[in-house]
Structure 1
Amino acid sequence: MRTVFIFMNEASQAVEIPKDMQFEAVAELEIRREGDTVLLRPVRPNWVSFAHEPTASADFLAERPCVLKTDYFDLSGAGESSEEPGQ
């Protein structure tokens, strides 16, 4: 197990993460204490962060190929019954 020094950064304690342990392409970490252990992990996207994502343009997918097959079932007579339910 490696050790690192703790230093003060204004009113907070800080540590320098060694290069081989750095988080790649991560801008924000979650931090949690479990007893005398402090755990760091990348913030994972959630529904709150999803709401802050940019919205699609008005013409997004306006023109797209049809990917649905419509010949699986013939539903042209669906819902047309001469019998009453329960008879």
Structure 2
Amino acid sequence: MAAVSRTSHRVCPPARRKRRRPFPTAAWGQGVLNVPVLQSAVCVLECVLHHYQVVGTPGIFVGRIVATRSAQGNPLINFRGEFRTLLYG
């Protein structure tokens, strides 16, 4: 999981169903679990799958966090189909 900052929004095109990098213009690094990690992310949680439960079409994934990384910035989230910023303080 990665949270991007408001300034990273321009490199975040809408998700597509094709298997390709969702942020093609962004810089990528390698995570602790040897997975691609978005370098401009405000926070990164690397998890290993602990449990998967079929609840509906997508199901629920439960993971155990094994590595974290954070940086300065206000997280950008998608809520009700719109990008919003979480402000702290």
For Structure 1 versus Structure 2, the TM-score category normalised by the shorter chain is under 0.3
TM-score for both structures, normalised by structure 2? 0.20
Q: TM-score scaled to structure 1, two decimals? A: 0.21
Which structure shows the bigger proportion of residues in strand conformation?
Answer: 2
Q: Based on CA coordinates, which of the two structures has the bigger radius of gyration?
A: 1
